[in-house]
Amino acid sequence: MATTSNTQSQLIRTPTVAGMFYPSNPKELEASVKYYLTEAAAKFEPAAKSAPKAIIAPHAGYIYSGLTAAAVYNRLAPARDIIKRVMILGPCHRVAVNGLALPSTEVFATPLGEVPLDMDGVASIVTLPQVKIFNDTHIEDHSLEVHLPFLQKVLSAFSIVPLIVGQASPEQIAEVLETLWGGPETLILISSDLSHYLPYDRAKALDDQTRQAIEQLDAEALSNEQACGRHSIKGLLQLARQKGLTVKTADVRNSGDTASTKDRVVGYGSWYFEEGGSGTTTKDDFGIATRELLATHGQTLLQVAAAAILIHLNKTGSMKLSLNEFAEPLRNHGACFVSLNKDNQLRGCIGSIQAWRPLITDVAENACKAAFQDRRFKKLTKTEIEKNAIAMSISVLSPQTLLSFKDEAEFLSQLQPGIDGIVLQEGKRCGIFLPVVWEQLPEPEKFLSHLKRKAGLAEDYWSDTIQAWRYVTEGVYSKDLPPEVPLWQLY
């Protein structure tokens, strides 16, 4: 059991899982950490010239998750002498807490030595209403402790801001992270394992959904069973999206791949978040793979969308998709807009701006919404379909990238007519235009004024708090199908 010294000069949290989650002998522990770092360096891509701003790493015993953790810890090497403060947020395993809890200690000890707390950092966040000092939840919890030996080997001198996270909203987490965001001297570390005690194949499928959600910076796609550190992950994803960070996966595996049987496994993943994105998304960045997807599976997407509409019209219930019947690219998370046209005029358009479910599911759901729930139009009728008057297009969206600008003129100068889709947000007001809108509004000034109107803002409105994201699309159109394959007669 961990204990705390009673000295007045310094309060020390001693290790609680040394000898269980990792070796208690200093030489054995150092050799263990070095082994996993070396194995990861040989197995995964080498570190870049700069270190990430934030990482997610697992907190299980080293024999289970050490390789996955090492895959992301190796990426800190370029900032060995730069990172001086590490914010560590780990989930609560022992004593429940509301919000985020700091310890009353001033030092965390491991067999490799002592790590001081950044008391200035502690002081700057302890005044936030969601943060409290509650040592009881720290004493026996392992979610922070297991990371320290890795940090002690990959960094030189550093201090920590250790937080155990209970029930907390993404906004509360993001506020704490924002307060101590700092510069390259500050690293954010989210401690989390993934799925728990599922059969191997089910765990792999669920953990892959988690991977896609994190890579898409999609906090809404994370459910309770996907990650024990989900509250902290959601807060980081929300803030990373606002700040335009990019995220990459270092490794995902489970205990069935490392040191246990495959009947009840625990999932592990590691990710790294990087600053300095240009905010520019080009057709080539996104288009090649998506064009290949649509060339191969575009007809399937159109047919499923048509079937979903016809099933609704025939009052035979909602469409039930068996995901295993579709190719993997269609099962991956994707975001799309489905548009219906009649006589070359829009007849309905609904879509998703963030990828949060399988692409094939997104297509089916948005097709029905475009046909029957777009408030600008009457519901689609059988007669319109029987007359073959309706054409359909599906636009698949890229991930969004945050734009950085100081005023409206600079924002306008960054727009790429004919290429960019834009999300404009001011508080709770939001307007979205697909790239196809440039065909009707080719001038950036008119494009923006109409987008403001769509967001419920005046055309001449501007403020320093407006945010905007760009994305690009690739699409497939029913009229591009061979004439011997009539879309609406397939079902």
Residue 7 in this model has a pLDDT that exceeds 50: no
Question: Is residue 291 very low, low, confident or very high in pLDDT (cuts 50, 70, 90)?
Answer: confident
Q: Could you report the per-residue pLDDT of 98-155, keeping only the tens digit for each?
A: 999 999 999 999 999 999 999 999 999 999 999 999 999 999 999 999 999 999 999 9
Q: Pick from 354, 86, 408: which is nearest to 238 by CA? A: 354
Q: What is the helix (H) or strand (E) element at residue 164, kind and residue range?
A: strand 159-165
Looking at mean pLDDT, say which of 137-146, 268-277, 391-400 comes out highest.
Answer: 137-146
% of the chain at pLDDT higher than 90:
71
CATH number listed for the domain at residues 12-274: 3.40.830.10
Domain ranges of the chain: 12-274, 283-397+477-489, 401-471
- Banded model confidence at residue 403, pLDDT cuts 50, 70, 90: confident
Is a pLDDT exceeding 90 seen at residue 3? no
pLDDT reading at 460 higher than 90: yes
Between 50 and 282, name the one with better pLDDT.
50
Q: How confident is the model at residue 487 (pLDDT cuts 50, 70, 90)?
A: low
Average per-residue pLDDT for the chain: 90
Residue 315 pLDDT level (bands cut at 50, 70, 90): confident
Average pLDDT over residues 250-276: 93
Question: Is the predicted pLDDT of residue 270 greater than 70, yes or no?
Answer: yes
Cβ atoms of 133 and 103 closer than 8 Å: yes
Q: Which CATH number does the domain 401-471 belong to among 3.30.460.80, 3.40.640.10, 3.40.710.10, 3.30.1490.150?
A: 3.30.1490.150
Let me know the angle formed at the C-alpha of 400 by 427 and 274, rounded to the nearest 5 degrees.
100
- CATH number of the structural domain 283-397+477-489: 3.30.700.20
Give the model's pLDDT for residue 48: 73
Angle between helix axes 200-215 and 230-243 (nearest 10 degrees) is 30
Residue 11 has pLDDT above 50, yes or no: yes
Number of CB atoms found within 10 A of residue 345's CB: 6
Could you give the CA distance from residue 92 to residue 103 in angstroms, rounded to a whole number? 13
240 pLDDT exceeds 70? yes
pLDDT band, very low/low/confident/very high, at 190 (cuts 50, 70, 90)? very high
Q: What is the mean pLDDT of residues 474-485?
A: 72
